[in-house]
């Protein structure tokens, strides 16, 4: 096991389950001094930090609420920490039918997936070290037109766009900003966001086996390893990109 994050401080929004939890676990395994994980549910965060151990710090914080982001910043400052790696990963998914989408549905997904990413980075900017790395979780849908997913895909296109602009905005501080675009990944979002039941998940896996060159749906740690690559010194000359981690699905 390498130790690319030895003595480093990282923040993972949406770090209580799925891809974010896998990122936090991998950072700690690679020597991180402290990893702050956030989410809205205190209960999920408790379960997460119990499994992650004492170098993980849970901060209950909703990325769509600016006072919550200020509390996250204050919690990091209280420990005297500055941030080496920021993973703006929190996000939700949901289907929306064009013609039957409410304003509340629109605001909810844009508030979390777009406003949340924007203000996570802006709020924590003063705590980022010069030369730090920011990884934004987008999605392979960010340049696709998927049926009944127009809101989700638009939010992920915005996230991809932030990576381009912020790589430019933050060049003076040598802060790299990249987007990470997972493909099909087995996480709670399939049930909580896309409302799949067990049978639908198993049909989805069969479908994926046929259309994804890798032949299966990824596990969160297979996405996390690429997130860590982007944040690490191994990727020191990688900036502003969108890295698809999708078993080849959107590449063929
Ligand atoms: N799974 C996939 O196939 C896939 C593919 C492409 C991209 N992604 C992206 O990957 C990211 C992680 O998703 P996942 O698949 O790992 O799903 P997940 O297991 O549902 O994880 C989502 C995480 O974000 C947190 N979260 C949601 N809304 C939040 C908010 N308003 N404020 C703070 N935290 C919030 C959740 O905790 P709480 O609910 O407790 O807040 C949870 O920790 C998302 O941005 C998603 O769009 C996933």
Token pair recorded at residue 3: 């130790």
> Considering the chain, what is the average pLDDT of its residues?
97
Please indicate, yes or no, whether residues 22 and 147 belong to a single structural domain of this protein.
yes
Q: For the segment 91-134, what is each residue's pLDDT rounded down to a tens digit?
A: 999 999 999 999 999 999 999 999 999 999 999 999 999 999 99
**Nearest partner of 4 among 218, 174, 232, judged by Cα:** 232
Please indicate, yes or no, whether residues 178 and 90 belong to a single structural domain of this protein.
yes
Assess contact for 79 and 6: CB atoms under 8 A. no
> Ligand 1 pocket, 224 CB below 6 A?
no
Please indicate, yes or no, whether residues 51 and 157 belong to a single structural domain of this protein.
yes
Q: What is d(CA 20, CA 16) in angstroms, rounded to the nearest whole number?
A: 7
Q: Given this model, what pLDDT does residue 80 score? A: 98
**Among the options 36, 152, 207, 237, which is catalytic?**
152
Assess contact for 93 and 152: CB atoms under 8 A. yes
Q: Given this model, what pLDDT does residue 109 score? A: 98
Number of domains forming the structure of the chain: 2
**Nearest partner of 93 among 174, 31, 51, 154, judged by Cα:** 154
Tell me the CATH number at 38.
3.40.50.720
Mean pLDDT, rounded, for 218-231: 98
State pTM to two decimals.
0.98
* CB within 8 Å of 102: residues ≥ 6 apart: none
Please indicate, yes or no, whether residues 207 and 165 belong to a single structural domain of this protein.
no
Helix (H, G, I), strand (E, B) or coil at 151: helix
Helix (H, G, I), strand (E, B) or coil at 113: helix
Tell which atom from ligand 1 comes closest to the C-alpha of 159.
45
Distances (CA, A) of 82 to 198, 242, 249: 42, 26, 37
Active site residue 106: no
Q: What is d(CA 192, CA 194) in angstroms, rounded to the nearest whole number?
A: 6
Vertex 235 angle, CA 18 and 225, to 5°: 25
Please indicate, yes or no, whether residues 193 and 178 belong to a single structural domain of this protein.
no
What range does the domain containing 208 cover? 187-217
Helix (H, G, I), strand (E, B) or coil at 11: strand
Assess contact for 179 and 140: CB atoms under 8 A. no
Centre of ligand 1 to C-alpha 172, Å, is 31
Q: Given this model, what pLDDT does residue 125 score? A: 98
Mean pLDDT, rounded, for 59-68: 98
Reported as a pLDDT band with limits 50, 70 and 90, residue 2 is: confident
Q: Given this model, what pLDDT does residue 58 score? A: 98
Q: For the segment 136-167, what is each residue's pLDDT rounded down to a tens digit?
A: 999 999 999 999 999 999 999 999 999 999 99
Centre of ligand 1 to C-alpha 192, Å, is 10
pLDDT at 1 over 70: no
Please indicate, yes or no, whether residues 71 and 146 belong to a single structural domain of this protein.
yes
Centre of ligand 1 to C-alpha 92, Å, is 5
In a domain, 252, yes or no: no
């Amino acid at each position: 096991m390498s130790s690319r994050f030895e003595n480093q401080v990282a923040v993972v929004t949406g770090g209580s389950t799925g891809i974010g939890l896998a990122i936090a676990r991998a950072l700690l395994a690679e020597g991180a001094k402290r990893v702050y994980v956030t989410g809205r549910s205190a209960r999920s965060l408790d379960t997460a930090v119990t499994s992650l151990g004492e170098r993980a710090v849970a901060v209950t914080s909703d990325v769509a609420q600016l006072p919550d982001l200020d509390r996250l910043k204050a919690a990091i400052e209280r420990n005297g920490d500055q941030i080496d790696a920021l993973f703006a990963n929190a996000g939700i998914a949901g289907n929306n039918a064009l013609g039957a989408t409410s304003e509340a549905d629109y605001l909810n997904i844009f508030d979390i997936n777009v406003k949340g990413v924007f203000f996570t980075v802006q709020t924590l900017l003063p705590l980022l070290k010069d030369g730090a790395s920011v990884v934004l979780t987008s999605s392979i849908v960010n340049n696709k037109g998927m049926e009944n997913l127009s809101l989700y895909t638009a939010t992920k296109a915005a996230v991809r766009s932030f990576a381009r602009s912020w790589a430019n905005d933050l060049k003076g501080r040598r802060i790299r900003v990249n987007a990470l675009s997972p493909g099909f990944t087995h996480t709670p979002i399939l049930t909580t966001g896309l409302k799949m039941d067990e049978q639908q998940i198993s049909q989805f896996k069969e479908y994926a086996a046929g259309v994804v060159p890798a032949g299966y749906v990824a596990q969160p740690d297979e996405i996390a390893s690429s997130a860590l690559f982007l944040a690490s010194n191994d990727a020191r000359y990688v900036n502003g990109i969108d890295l698809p981690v999708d078993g080849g699905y959107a590449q063929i």
